[in-house]
Structure 1
Amino acid sequence: MTMTAVRRRKAVVGGLKVTNNIESFSQPTFTKTYADIPGSFVGSKQHIGFEASEWKLVLHGEAATTMMAAMLLGENSVLIYTESGVRGTEKYESIHTMTGDISREFSESKNGSQQTLTLTGQIKNYAWVENGVPITTISIPNDEYFIDGVLY
């Protein structure tokens, strides 16, 4: 098992840079959907598409200005998340660029603790590049789907 150590994280939401308050980032997942194909004895399934995908960014201590910057452009809102570090002995840099509608949720406000802002986005366009190599590039409006190294 290769150990991954994240050394730097940065999120740019609506042109506003956030570096120190990132709690977690969940990149979009692409779950395949299948259609049943009947067989004379054993049926099978055929891959016909993917479920809708979303991402999530959790920030500590960020104010309403961060939320408004993220949501400013509606369904054309952009989030760029960059992460770099070491996997085993190799350096890596991973860049996720996402365009789509963003929703937000603030945790309850408590004395002595920072409020958490959770941004959740729907995918309209998405690009994931790792060490300069495109892993996934999606443009739903243009019917372009390169997912996990496979062109659909």
Structure 2
Amino acid sequence: VAGGLAGLVYSSNKYAQDARTRLAQRVSFLADRPCGVHEMPRKVTVYITAPPGDGLEKSRTWFREYVKPILVAGAVDYEIKEAKSPGQIETSVMEVIVQRRREAAEATSNTEPADHEPLENKSNTGFTSTADNMNSKKKSEVVSDGILATGRNAYSEVLSGLAKG
């Protein structure tokens, strides 16, 4: 009986390791692809919250064992945001969406030329300098390429924050 249980545990761990290796190989092409000079590296935001009736350490362990190896294999930068209280992730996601909408509204309103702006930075040729082009690209860049939610509470709060934002 003990040998059967030991074999079951061993095979389960072996299959889990094989699955992680296969997933890491599927995203490894992202790490091999070079990043352009004017291109920002890929970055995702990871939201972690504790499972119901358990501590935050369990979610951190799940992230370290299952998610982090895939992100590292794909050379994807990540930012971890942990929620210590319910609703904290939802509020954070809503604030990010509102901030991006405000920045987009300001960008569209700033593209229209105003009469009271000084003309010293404007050229008469209609062309813009490379510094102006770089500044406009910097303003329009998205800071994060995606969102990952570890845990069912984090997932539901992210979806709720996206819907309300």
Interval of TM-score (by shorter of Structure 1 and Structure 2): under 0.3
> Could you state the TM-score of these two structures normalised by the residue count of structure 1?
0.22
Higher helix share: 2
> Could you state the TM-score of these two structures normalised by the residue count of structure 2?
0.20
Bigger radius of gyration among the two: 2
